[in-house]
Structures are given as structure tokens and as C-alpha cells.
Amino acid sequence: MSTQPANTSINPFDANRETDYLRAKTGLMSWLVTVDHKRLGVMYGIAVLFFFLVAGILAILLRTELFTPDQDFMSAQTYNQVFTLHGAIMVFLFIIPSVPAAMGNFLLPLMLGAKDVAFPKLNLLSFYIYSIASVFFIAALLNGGLDTGWTFYTPYSTSTGTAVVTATAGAFIAGFSSILTGLNFIVTVHKMRAPGMTWNRMPLFVWAIYATAVIQVLATPVLAITLLLIIIERTLGIGIFDPALGGDPVLFQHFFWFYSHPAVYIMILPGFGIISELITVHSRKHIFGYKAIALSSVAIAVISFLVWGHHLFVSGQSELVGILFSFLTFAVGVPTAIKVFSWIATLYRGSIVYNTAMWYAMAFLWTFSVGGLTGLPLSTLAIDVHLHDTYFVVAHFHYVMVGGTVVAFIGGIHHWWPKITGKMFNETAGKIGCLMVFVGFNVTFLTQFFLGHQGMPRRYYAYLPEYQTMHQISTVGSWILAAGLFWVLTYLIASLFNKSRAPANPWGGVSLEWHTQSPPIEHNFHETPHVHGSPYDFPEIDKSGGNFHAEPVAFAADNLA
């Protein structure tokens, strides 16, 4: 850190130029044209949390409307539009970009010991493409809404009078942002690792982001082409999916799910990476089965391209094809189970610190396990016929996406909050928030398994009176969940006004992001780190001296102040 000698006079011109320089670094324009991966990560984070808020408010409106079997405050048509936009905004503008684009941008170069991503300007372009896509979704909301469901199923999406073209164009554009981000991350991992950081020394979060990026690059073009075909069919009247024009609506489902099931792992794989970091750091123990967890991420990425047909068990496909897809769906549970058992083994005899981040990791182990295990009945041909398109599917999907991805995302926010903001949050408030989220989520969606088992169809605006009690329990749970999320938002924002500064490494982490100050300097490290050992060799546990460290030791406390 440079200082100005006390007896040195400053030329007024130089002082003004210094003031202009500082203003350029801190003004609004500096954020709008930045190529700093950390700032872009923060901007993505603010954007995805805004759309999480929008989609969450829509969800609360849905659950409140379902408090009674009859109409309460919205019409059936309005209900269809609300649940469609809830799903579309939540999937395309929040869950898919939340961890890869927001946390991945901020953390990936830091964890690799790099100054930035491989293509900083392309990174900025990806953010603006995402922003343009979000404008299209907002326009769809204002221009007659959308009532097709977030999957845009044909032939309804080719015949409804709502803003299908606007919404599908938004999803189409968002796909380019996803592809460019994935490409950027792949090149960054291959070419920007610090000296000494071999593939076997990369943090597991990096492995998860890398596997996710591969899926983004390979699968997203299929969705983009599919949505473009819908736009062509609606605007030009060419029969592709609409049977009235000689098209095949089941063909759309094959195209859509060939992307969208891998997209499930675009959503959840980064969450797996977060949980790996949370559990090992806050249990102060080397991760159990490092190579198995790392390679299982790649295995999930590969197998995810082979299971799309389990969404079409009742579409009329042949029994042989159904059996094959059922087998492959069971197979994808193997690498996922490897991760869960490795996390549990890591916790065994670890020096566990029960802070807020670890509370979210524990909550994840429950909610995601329920989501994963309830996927097994849906993978079984005979059972899926009865549970298909019921609330059982809704509950399973939310246990994986919200109980998995969102819980991991919130846990990751708490884990890296001091690094991102340089501020510490209130731990007591954090644990209260985690408890509210956990209770509210389980009350909301555990009930829906029973609703689906008893035959309650999903996407229905009205229902039989015998389902009312469980719907009301689910709705009350959604209110608790919403209150918990607003509580989390409140104390995190309040922490930004703390006068005290967070230490560089409040949790005792070993990976490289903890070897720079909080928040990190513009180019992350004063000197290029040289990596030795594993990112999970904690001094308290491993006494052999093989700890993960950087050379030269430029990250001492006096350099981080």
C-alpha cells in the first residue's frame, strides 16, 4: 500500500486528476462499463435477486389465491398468466444464472488465482445480453401476459393470443448470455489457473462451475433453436409443432427437454459446489472423496443429456424407450449419491462450527435428499403414470430447485458475504432466518406430496373441497417462507452499514479466495500465487505441513489491511 509523504506538496492539477480518477473508479459509469469480474458478479447478483423477488411475489399471489377452492381475487386467466410468469422468470432469469453467473463470476478467478476471466469484455457483453433478455420478459408481463406455462408447450403456445413471441424471444436471447458465460468459464479454467494449480488441486466449486459451463455450451443451443422454431411457426404459419398445420407437438417436448433436463443440472451442479465448500470449511476437515466428488460433477453433466425422455413417459413413446430412459434416470442418481455420502463422511468427526452457513448446508442435506429420493418414484414407469402432472411433481421439482439450488445459493451468500462486501452479518439473525426458511419451505412443499398422492392435478385454478385443508397449510407455509426470505434480506442489507471491517479470512478457509483482502483488490492478488498442496488441508486437522498456501507469501495481514 503506497502512502504520500507528509512533507510533499501536491500539484493542484495532479490532485484534480487524482480526484477524477477516483470518481471514475466509483461512479455509476464505472459500473456500467466495468470488465472487473467481481463487479459483474455483484451486478448479476443484484439482478437475479431482483427477479427472485418478482417471481417470489407472483408465487405468494398464487398460493394465496389457492387458499380456498373458489375464486378469491384473480380470474382463471390471470392465474394462468401469474403461474406462467412465475415459472419463466424464476427459471430463466433467476435460478439458471444465479450461481454460475453471479457467484461464478465473482469467485472463479479468485479460486484459480487469476486476475480475471479469460475474456473480460465478453463477460460484460454477457451481462448486457442477460439484461436485454430481462426487458423482453418484462415486456411480456406488460403486453398481455403469458399463459402457456414456463415450458411453452405446443400446440397451445402456437395458438394462444398472449405474448408468446415476446417471452420466447427473451428466453432465446438469455441463452446467448448463458453460452458466452459458459465458454468464458471453460477457457478460464483451462488457461488461467495459477502456477501449481493442477486439476487435482482445483476447489470443488470450480469443478462444479466447469461441469455446468460444459452443459451450458452444449445444451443451450438446442433450446434456442426450439424457441426460434416457435417464433417462426407463430409469425409465418409454418407447421412445425402445431398438428393443425401438419406439425408434431411431441417433437417440441423432445427438443425442449433435451435442453431443460440438463438445465436442471445447470441449476443444481453449482449448488453442489457451494455445499462442498461450506461443509469442508465449516467442519475444518479435508473433504472426503475429493476425486469422486469432482468426477461425479462431470459424470452428472454427461448423463444429464441422456435422460430427457422420462418427461414423456405418458406421451405414447414405445415401452422399450421408456424402460431405457427409466434406467438412465436411476443411473444419474449414482454420482449424486456419491456427493451426498461424501459430504456426510466429511462431517463425521469433523470440528463442526454451527454458524449460519453450516445451518444452510445442513438444511440442504435434508431438502435436496427429499427432492432426490422423490425423483425415484417419478422415474418408475408404473408409478409415474399415476403421479404425472399432479402436485407430487410440483413438490419434487421445488425440493430440488428451491430446496437444492436456492438453499445452497443463500448458504453461499452467507459464506462469501464477508469476502464480497467486507462486512460481517449478525449470526443470531442469520440462524433465525435459516430456521424460518427451512420451516416455511417444508410446510409449503411437503404438504404437496400428499396432495399429489391423493390426485390433486398441478396448474389447476380451482379444486375439490377435500383438498382445501392441505392447500391452506401449504399457503401458510409460503407466507412463513416469504417472511424468512425478507428477514434474510433485511439483516444482510443492515450489515452493509457496519463500521467494522470483516477480516480477510473469517472462517479459516484455505482456498485462494481467502488469501486476499475483503473485498478483494481490483486485480485480486498483489502477486501471482503459487499453489502447493490441497485446497482442503486445514492446519488444525493436517499436521504434516502439506497445507494449501501461496508463494510468495504476499497475503500477510499487513498487506491485507
Residues of the chain with pLDDT under 50: 1-24, 541-561
User: Which 3 state secondary structure label does DSSP give 550?
Assistant: strand
63, 67, 71, 73 alpha-carbon torsion, rounded to 10°: -60
pLDDT at 244: 84
Number of Cβ atoms within 10 Å of the Cβ of 437: 27
* 364's grid cell: 440442504
* 173's grid cell: 436471447
210 and 189 in contact (C-beta within 8 Å)? yes
If residue 472 lies in a helix (H) or strand (E), which one and from where to where? helix 468-495
538 and 510 in contact (C-beta within 8 Å)? yes
pLDDT at 238: 87
The dihedral built from the CA positions of residue 519, 520, 526 and 527, taken in this order, carries a sign that is: positive
If residue 531 lies in a helix (H) or strand (E), which one and from where to where? strand 530-532
If residue 530 lies in a helix (H) or strand (E), which one and from where to where? strand 530-532
Dist CA 162 CA 145 (whole Å): 6
Number of Cβ atoms within 10 Å of the Cβ of 344: 12
For 266-309, how does the pLDDT look when each residue is reduced to its tens digit (9 = 90+)?
889 999 999 999 999 999 999 999 999 999 999 998 888 888 98
For 381-415, how does the pLDDT look when each residue is reduced to its tens digit (9 = 90+)?
899 999 999 999 999 999 999 999 999 999 999 99
* 5's grid cell: 509523504
Q: Is 182 left (phi over 0), alpha (psi -120 to 50) or beta?
A: alpha
Q: Which amino acid is at 340?
A: V
Beta-bridge mates of residue 521: 524
Dist CA 169 CA 540 (whole Å): 53
Burial of 444 (0-12, 13-18, 19+ CB in 10 A): buried
User: Which 3 state secondary structure label does DSSP give 7?
Assistant: coil
Beta-bridge mates of residue 551: 530
Q: Which residue has the cell 462431470?
A: 298
- Per-residue HEC secondary structure of 317-386 comes to CCHHHHHHHHHHHHHHHHHHHHHHHHHHHHHCCCCCCCCHHHHHHHHHHHHHHHHHHCHHHHHCHHHHHH
Polymer length of the chain = 561
DSSP code at position 390? B
Q: Give the side-chain half-sphere CA count within 13 A for 400.
A: 22
Residue 302 vs residues 134, 276, 468: alpha-carbon distances, Å: 30, 20, 42
**531 phi and psi angles, rounded to 5 deg:** -95, 140
Dist CA 41 CA 48 (whole Å): 10
Residue 111 vs residues 105, 114, 413, 519: alpha-carbon distances, Å: 11, 8, 16, 14
* 71's grid cell: 375464486
pLDDT at 26: 67
400 and 272 in contact (C-beta within 8 Å)? no
In the chain, the N- to C-terminal Cα span, in Å, equals 9
pLDDT at 10: 36
